[in-house]
Structure 1
């Protein structure tokens, strides 16, 4: 908690109920208070928060929400914003999005509040900028917020109930003249101990593959269907390489606003000496970004070497290891 501050207690009647607010000026240029009123515009529920740090997610961007005629998102640095030397603090920011649709030279002045739920007392820590006339969002500055939103010591202290059962709840309010849209709720669910699933694709007549690309059979991991995409001559006409990607099998059926964090390995097996060729990556898959991998997965020179066994008797074998580490879903 911030020390050496003046505490002001306000009590007033609001919607036939009493709301008590404790407000203090933070030494980092923010006003901190506690309130029973939940955030009006956005709620972000994160399950298994520690998985974000475990898997080195340096920056998590929420889905968009709209208020005041503009689109916004919350940006969370689970390990603190390293560029701001905030390693002992949770860093949270508000970012304006969809800026390509705005007119040239756009400027938006907005005041905002970021919330963190005390899950035992059902009250919120509310942090807002002391600059009461709002912050200026523009092309060169699309984010404002708090490098030192809350210390990890305070955040992790069970007596504060901000992190309960490795779950936490954040929220946001943004005010730009007037509000035109209802709020949305996003739920980010991280998997504490993700299970890796393995799928093997055996190609028997490699020389007869479609030069523009071939797909493996569809396989399931979690609640989603996947396939491996192979491009014998490289995706996008790069030439001299084989491209290999993991892809959502039915992106057209993937819910809008949903994205999943997937860690995957694609291996091309050496059928003679087990000198396998592989690539490993983590990626947020969504309906708009349904495929990810390597344009230059392996060169033709290496793949067609007879002593490697990657291509043996006109056949090759590709193995996919896939684990889902988190899923974000938007409601409302």
Structure 2
């Protein structure tokens, strides 16, 4: 048995119990295939596949070695707190001696797989110098054979934890929604609401309070807000979005729109977002301005999702 760099290697006359892949190696190297994925196989009640880097995993700066990993399939359906612990062995067929070189961790180490970690193995699995030497029997007539054994030794619920993941949106999209209010003077309610509108996967509504809301009540101002139409879409613990929001009342005569703009963190409990004192009511209703024309007004909301925070657990 050979021990080196935390890895043990020994010879076995038994083939791998769970999966074997036979490869014409030059098909990978001559076609610059840097990563090869095997078919899916089952072991221990789960589905797996082998990931082979014939010239080393360049993402981890591996040189002069083959990199080999075991990847878990279907982890996206797992709960965040579910974890599988496995012992794994990788095999390479010695075609000259008709046995297998087996590689595993030196110490009885558990490889952990969960929703955040679906791949594990050996960056420097096999030196290319030894592998390409046909006298050693691992690559003969351009053919090589790899295999794997996977033993699930533990399945556990890690329990609820705390944490969050913030991802900023690379290619942001600005969504616009125009809301026209006709027969403004005929509304007797304290709050006018638009119909729900979409910005990607989120739904919003606009709200106009002609007599003000909050600190705007009794001040001679009207209040304008935007709110999630379905706050439960962000109810999971820690979930929130970071958005740039612009609210406008359009000037229908001179295009001198009245607007407010800001960036906000929005969660399921954020409520209404906007301005208690958005515009003086006298300015809004004045016949000399273009905000209310023939008892009709046009309002607009712009929403740009800049980032999303999701709970890790």
What TM-score comes out, normalization by structure 2 length? 0.47
Q: Which has the larger radius of gyration?
A: 2
